[in-house]
Structure 1
Amino acid sequence: NVAGAIILGLKLDDPQINELRENKNFPVVVFDTSIGGNVNSVKTDNESGVLEVTSFLREMNHKKIGVITGHFKAQVSIERLYIFTNSLIGNNIEVYEGDFSKESGYKGAMELYSKGVSAIFAFSDLMALGAIEYFNEKNIDIPDKVSIIGFDNIPIGEIIKPGLSTVAHNKSEIAKQMLKLITDSSFGKNVKIKPELIKRDSVKKL
């Protein structure tokens, strides 16, 4: 007897996707993934967010940049990597495939730093925290030796030193639009919400 459903963390290989697409019983809203059919989606505008990151890194004169992606069963990983690499054509980009975990951020930082990157863009703040943990253990100064930027704007990013630069979801607007799609009994609509780049002390101008 629910009015609708909100789904978070949907993977592209989820066996229920076809069933969700054909659902006509009540509105379903998926966060950050568009799967078509009768399913609504509310997404952070990855293009807008990633282009702000690339513009910021250009402004800070970074030429060799490392990327720690999430796993590629997540639509956001595919979108963000495609936008990032296309925006920085001609730059030297190194890619490490993570899985959104802190551990993969740690391993990604170890590999990317060994390749001489001056900045790392992690597709989640949790992976950025893993990278920061690695650099702290190795006494590699952030941002003097390497700059880091994340995505999500989780609360700890503002507390740690140096403060983590990141892309912030507009959470209140996302929640508002999700509820609106349910209360309006919408099916098959897709909404994008513009994020905000938060500049803190983890990125240095070269």
Structure 2
Amino acid sequence: MPDDRRVSMAMVAARAGVSGQTVSRVANDSPRVDPQTRARVEQAMAELGYRPHRAARALRTGRTRTLGLVAQTLATVGNSRMLQAVAESAASRGYALTVLTLGADADIADAFDRLRDQGVDGAIVLNEATALAREAAPAGLRLVVVDSPPDDRFTVVGTDHAAGGRAAVAHLLTRGHRTVHHLAGPAGSFAAAERERGWRSALAEAGIDAPAPARGDWSAASGYVQAQRMLARGATAIFAGNDQMALGALRAAADAGLRVPDHVAVVGFDDIADAAQFQPPLTTVRQDFDALGEQTVRRLVAWIEGEHPTDLLLEPTLVTRAST
């Protein structure tokens, strides 16, 4: 196979039996190529080892085919799952991904400036960083924000967390519990606030006053500490804001000599890969991270290509297991 650096569009054109302009259109994803010709050109590219020169293409088209992603942290399970889904979806469309984490400084305006300096075609903002994005969304940068209230400056893709919270509480109430305690996520998280709103709504619909929620930081350790306090107050049903905190609650119950679900029932949120392996297997609200990543990238790429996509809210699913 020829060396990648020596393969030109002319060589691809000769192999495919088309003009150089047709090869250029295929390389730039132009819709003005019929499918059979595109397939022939792509086969010739693969046989010769041709790779489009990203910088040269950016000069021709004004696009870098690079997306930015901004997150507060990638240490949480939800954010790491979203990063994986976004990266796979972007790669399938021929886009590179530049990732910035805000850390303790949380300077999202600086992050946006850095992304624009790198010439990204658009950016995605995840979860805990969305509140900062609403404060500092820059003009001229296409943004898709995951889990946020509607905003005319960007497109929103998310999970209906409130619906998931309502489903979790309704499920626990049907098991005969007089009330449901909530182990909530961080105060600055939109997703945590929506899950809490769903919890309150379901209790109110049942005519039950909501007990004071406990607040964790998404970690199993925080779930353990807060669940200890709930169990000491006699809680028999706990809706945890994510599966990691639910894991902490399961350990707190075991350490207190309580059987799950005989003495206390626990529901999580997310349905992480290991949730079915907890002891006992965890009832949880599943959000589809693969679909979230796909729809987020799909909408951002559509915006880059001239559309202005609508917001999207995906429905979660309650997955019932032995913890309830």
| Structure 1 length-normalised TM | 0.88
Answering whether residue 308 of structure 2 is matched by residue 192 of structure 1, we say: no
Answering whether residue 192 of structure 2 is matched by residue 70 of structure 1, we say: no
Give runs of aligned pairs for residues 1-206 of structure 1, distance below 5 A: 1-11=119-129, 14=132, 17-20=134-137, 22-25=138-141, 27-34=142-149, 36-89=151-204, 90-91=207-208, 93-94=210-211, 95-185=213-303, 189-203=310-324
Distance 1:19 1:190 in 2: 20
**Residue 99 of structure 1 aligns to a residue in which SS?**
coil
Once the two structures are superposed, residues 88-137 of structure 1 have per-residue CA deviations (whole angstroms, 9 ceiling, x without a partner) of 12325331122212122111111111111111000111110111122222
Which segment drifts farther, 119-128 or 41-50? 41-50
Note closer, same or farther for the CA distance 1:47–1:82 as it changes in structure 2 (3 Å cut). Answer: closer
Distance 1:87 1:134 in 2: 25
In structure 2, give the amino acid aligned to 1:139: G
**Residue 156 of structure 2 aligns to a residue in which SS?**
strand
Which segment drifts farther, 102-111 or 32-41? 32-41
Would you say the 8 A contact 2:240–2:267 is kept in 1? Answer: yes
Q: How big is the shift at 1:188?
A: 7.7
Would you say the 8 A contact 2:164–2:198 is kept in 1? Answer: no
In structure 1, give the amino acid aligned to 2:136: E
| Greater per-residue strand proportion | 1
Q: Which fold has the larger relative contact order, with Cα–Cα distance below 8 Å and residues 6 or more apart in sequence?
A: 1
Gaps (5+ residues) in structure 1?
none
Distance 1:114 1:188 in 2: 49
| Structure 2 length-normalised TM | 0.57
Would you say the 8 A contact 2:172–2:265 is kept in 1? Answer: no
Distance 2:313 2:131 in 1: 22
Distance 1:13 1:195 in 2: 22
Q: How big is the shift at 1:187?
A: 5.3
Would you say the 8 A contact 1:36–1:188 is kept in 2? Answer: no
CA RMSD, Structure 1 to Structure 2 (Å): 2.0
Q: Moved runs in structure 1, 4+ residues, more than 3 A?
A: 186-189
Larger radius of gyration: 2
**Residue 210 of structure 2 aligns to a residue in which SS?**
strand
Gaps (5+ residues) in structure 2?
1-118
